Chains A and B, each alone.
Chain A
């Protein structure tokens, strides 16, 4: 009992801490024009490589310093959050829908449906994911839509494997058999009985996948294959930081901290929710 309460409290702390950071970053991204102290694209060579506020030579209004073109780092991070969150929500949702539907079908019906889906998953697992993402974006052309499609196309297998395994074990349970005897149709049973029981795992994975999507977007913009406009992205800022690392370490450090906190929060938020809603652990 005491242990269960401890687990629940730990889960709560995780949810609040991680959720707090995500909410803060999300609000900053949504209200970027109000939050950002400067224009994220404005270059000023008089202000190049200003250090963050606590160091000598800092300028007021440029809290985290500037990059080698004199652009305000904090403003760029805030605006970069827009791309990161759009990709996170859209790509993870798309991957979740595709993977869960295929996983439910394979796990519940078994037989041929399962064999075909499993074979496709095997083929997908033989691709190095980052290379696959880069290849897809190169083929589809850079742009926000391509990045989202590429991540969804690659990562649906993550959902498919988990949902398939859960649906398979659920479909053997008594309550499903009872529903069948009671005369419910297969689709009905799948949506009304099996899906709700698989949902906690799906939600935890969805949150985890959002963190992964943020990283993949950062990797794609790091190699300059994400969105093709001038809009700042976290990966793009990191690429600039990597180049000027010996002259201006802050251009690499701050986006790194931002990315780190965001990815960690997404995974902890998901784990926390799962621990809280998992009937076995509860």
Chain B
């Protein structure tokens, strides 16, 4: 049952990724302006232009070009960046860890803020506390991460400068890292001075990304918790003498978490999509920042690579969430 569902999902995932590849390819090929002309100095001979076109496969038909490009992608060959003259996959892999660390830190912050608020809101339901949480949720939801980022820059970068507002790590520091997962590696190597510096840089962009998600988690979880609070088994636990907080944490939370989980998965992909502009805002050297540079420089192979990697991450997260839902949901597990 579960395996069947997994295979079906895997198939739709591949179809979606193929669709993404087609869309990216088509969008980029309709771009006016010749990328080859931009790579060569003015006055290059026609022979030079033709040679370079052939090198990049641009002299073949569109369908041929697509399948040559696709088979390259499937073999891990994403081509060569035009502006940086380096292997696209290598460039993407050098920046991806920074973006992943930022996204995961944001997810942790969102959970750390959203979960307690949902529990407090449920315990204090019908009071001014709950109303206050609702207002805060509404505000956090209607302001996009881009604006949150700017507000945070003003508050904690300028007015009360406790956090760094640009970069990933202070440039004066010597970095002993062998991977690009700086934050993770600094913790593993017990170099907490570096951890503190990294968090000091990452905290504000991560918070900007986390706030809308925290609001969604708190709102949704509170709603499903409140629905459960009147059910017999919860009332029974209360009669047994558990405090309201214990009832929520021990009895209700487990069952309320499932519907929230699905939505958090979808929202997490939105959060990762948000890194593109938030990284730019905080000059954080991740994939999103590189993507904007690639677009500004009309570096088509690099853009293609980055968009595909983002799409792959999105689709994978959806697959994982779907499988977790199937595994955790008793109705599907025994169905």
Residues of A within 8 A of B (CB): 119-120, 122-123, 125-132, 134-136, 138-139, 141, 211-212, 215, 218-219, 222-225, 238, 242, 245-246, 249, 252-253, 256, 259-260, 263-264, 267-268
Contact = CB atoms under 8 A, between A and B. Distances in A.
21 contacts: A119-B16, A120-B19, A122-B16, A122-B19, A123-B16, A123-B23, A125-B314, A126-B16, A126-B311, A127-B307, A127-B314, A128-B272, A128-B307, A134-B276, A134-B295, A135-B307, A218-B146, A245-B154, A263-B142, A263-B144, A263-B147
Interface of B: 12, 15-17, 19-20, 23, 27-28, 30-32, 142-144, 146-147, 150-151, 153-154, 157-158, 269, 272-274, 276-277, 280-281, 288, 291-292, 295-296, 298, 303, 306-307, 310-311, 314-315
Contact of B150 (A125, A141, A224, A242): A242
B16 to A, nearest CB: 5
Given A119-B15, A131-B291, A134-B291, A215 B146 contact: yes
Given A135-B295, A215-B144, A130 B23 contact: no
A131 B146 contact: no
A138 B300 CA distance: 10
Tell me if A's interface is mostly helix, strand, loop or mixed. Answer: helix
A202 B291 CA distance: 33
Contacts of A128: 272-273, 276, 288, 307, 310, 314
A253 B307 contact: no
A219 B146 contact: yes
A249 B314 contact: no
B147 A259 contact: yes
Given A245-B154, A256-B151, 19 more contacts: A119-B16, A123-B16, A126-B20, A127-B311, A131-B307, A131-B310, A135-B295, A139-B28, A215-B146, A242-B153, A242-B281, A245-B153, A246-B158, A252-B150, A252-B153, A256-B150, A263-B142, A264-B143, A267-B142
Contacts of B303: 135, 138
Contacts of A256: 147, 150-151, 154
A212 B12 CA distance: 29
A139 B291 contact: no
A95 to B, nearest CB: 17
A130 B276 contact: yes
A139 B32 CA distance: 7
A130 B143 contact: no
Contact of A123 (B20, B31, B150, B295): B20
B142 A264 contact: yes
A110 B193 CA distance: 59
B204 to A, nearest CB: 13
A97 B26 CA distance: 23
Contacts of B142: 211, 263-264, 267-268
Contacts of B269: 125
Nearest to A268: B142
A238 B150 contact: yes
Contacts of B277: 130, 219, 222-223
A125 B277 CA distance: 18
A134 B296 CA distance: 9
Contacts of B298: 138
Name the 5 nearest CB pairs between A and B, nearest first. Answer: A128-B273, A123-B19, A126-B311, A139-B31, A138-B295
Contacts of B147: 215, 256, 259-260, 263
A212 B274 CA distance: 13
A141 B32 contact: yes
Contacts of B17: 126
B300 to A, nearest CB: 9
Given A123-B23, A223-B296, A245 B158 contact: yes
A128 B317 CA distance: 13
Contacts of A120: 19
A267 B143 CA distance: 10
Contacts of A135: 27-28, 295, 303, 307
